[in-house]
Structure 1
Amino acid sequence: MRLLKVLVALILLAVIALAAYAYFGDMEPSRTETREPIAVGAGDAAPAQTTGDDSPDSGDLD
């Protein structure tokens, strides 16, 4: 019975410690500035057109 009381006390202490760490701990995310170049106007404006000859729905059952 005494071991059970010690176990309950340790679990309660662990829960209190976890709550205190979550409340007082340094949980702020680190922020860094990121710059990436963006290519404007590069490449084709419209996607390439397909003729439909090699599509899987063309009716060829091999």
Structure 2
Amino acid sequence: MPGGKIPRAHYARATRGEIHKFTGVSSRYEEPLSPTLCLNTDQQTVEQSVKLLTELLIKRCKL
């Protein structure tokens, strides 16, 4: 999907069993063992989270 968005219709189809192994419906979510970025939104402000994400993107994309 462009932009990484999954249409709501996909969730409905997965719930009806038309799409198999759909994360969050028929396939469980597997937490990454060593995530590149972890945003603790219950402990950080939006600004802090955005700063961390921006720093990672700049580093990764060499902007």
TM-score by length of 1: 0.22
Q: Which has the higher contact order (CA 8 A, sep 6+)?
A: 2
TM-score by length of 2: 0.21
Higher helix share: 2
Structure with the greater alpha carbon radius of gyration: 1
